[in-house]
Structure 1
Amino acid sequence: MSVRALVVDPAAAAAVRLAEVPDPAPEPGQVLVEVSHASLNYGDLNDARSGRVPEGAVLGSDAAGVVVQAAGDGTGPAVGTRVVALTAGAFAECVAVDVGALAKVPKGLRLAQAVALPVAGLAALRSLRAAGLGPDKRVLVTGASGGVGRFAVQLAARAGAHVIASVGSTARGEGLAEAGADEVLIGLKGLERPVDVVIDNVGGPQLVLAWGLLAPGGSVQSVGWTSGQPAVFPPYATVGPAKSLTSFVIEGDVSADLAVLTELAAEGALGVEIGWKGSWDRFEEAAEALRGRRIYGKAVLEVASGQTRPR
């Protein structure tokens, strides 16, 4: 058997096309998930063009759907369980997922909402944790209108921090004050007091400016680089009182943190903003909107399964 999937193709529009790929063969510690929704991240677009995901391989990291085959070793959720997962090759009708890479989706939370959480929600949660988030901290979130940014604003505010959201335009700042931002700035204009934590999604010159605003002992977490520009630090910018610039990546078992995020979302304590939703046949449209920064929050792809598997 085979399943349909979005695979990398440098010759195709957006470097991605729909294709048939072999049916996934789960290992003992994996479940088989029939995917109903996938979430598109900025990093997916870069993966398709950079060669990090090779030609012909299935793209994607965020998937949500229903377990149609339980793990052979007896771990993980049962058949019929709604789940959300962080897994390579997520953009397929059916995927094999490690039990440590998924969480059950609580009642009251739609799969279309849950699928927005893995990459963006985990990046926000774990980068804030790594930076030493606390109620006495001043937290700057750059690129705050995107998926990671909006979750970071909410989670930092929930922890009692003073949250400063940086966006590219007035329009992109809409809703961030309601999400918990104490200040919403265009770029870093008007920010003069030092900050303790920077969750940086932009990179480039703005990263350099944010570094200059970091208080002694503070931390910049480099989560994304949507600017596509180099960050050029002036001489001696990195010499002085101790502070850190840390590269960030999601690693290891994510099930517990993903469960926390889904519970918060189900309770309404973590808002999930979906700025674009449509069939995965419209991938090029979604990609163009995301690259053009016309999406606030997340882009969600609806996966039209060509087959029904036994449950």
Structure 2
Amino acid sequence: DVCSSDLAGPIAPTFDVVRVESNGSIVVAGNAAPNSKVEILNGATVIGSTVAGPDGAFVIVLEDPLKPGDYTIALRSTVGAVVTASAQTAVVSVPANAAGQVLAMVEEPGKPAELLTVPASEPKPAPATGDQAAAPAAEAPAAPATATPAVAAAKPAPAAPAAPAAAAAEPKIVVEAVEIDGNKIFVAGLADPGRKVRAYANDILLGDAQTSSDGHFLVEATRDIPVGSYTIHVDGLDADGVKVVARAAVPFEREPGEAVAAVAPAETKPAEAKA
């Protein structure tokens, strides 16, 4: 129905996280129309793609790192014959050498650009730690606070559905997406701002991350995850970094292949005094 589609309008894909490493590897997380095909474009060239989950969340890891230089990347989603381009663009600068700086900036017409930088020469932490993560929750109306990682965080387009405000007193944690790319695994989700989270695949520790001021976390780990069925669970830790105050878990099927992605919302499970 032309009338109803005009009223609703297509859902434009949006950036939530643009994570850039000094070697040119990039992880992009965001939201698009549920179950749509999502592509990253550098100009007219498609450099990465995936399928959004039933809630619209997606994570894309570029298979080939970008060579040194400046890039303007955009998102495009496809549902049937309807193709929708993002209003946002991400400007990425990959340094020619380790002494340069990684730059990532997300721009949207009529809104201030978000620019975050980090010296590329800083030593990387052990692969199991994922505390370099930052992005706002899809429903966060405020601009993200400054952060040290080379991560560009964007405010979502108005088309993104607003979630009801959660009770501040009750700890929350949600796993939004799980992606495997070669021997790397990424777990993205939402938690209380500033909360430390710890992710596992069954009993395999994947790493920790600090939730950004806008409630988004990304745990990145280098692990060989054999083919099989797993439960990816993420614990939200108390201020002491030891006590578990909230837990979220999603099933994840590790299928054969170098790139496997799954997006599944999970409900918060308050940790009942389990030590």
Q: TM-score, normalised by structure 2?
A: 0.29
Higher relative contact order (CA 8 A, sep 6+): 1
- TM-score w.r.t. structure 1 length? 0.26
Choose 1 or 2 for highest CA Rg: 1
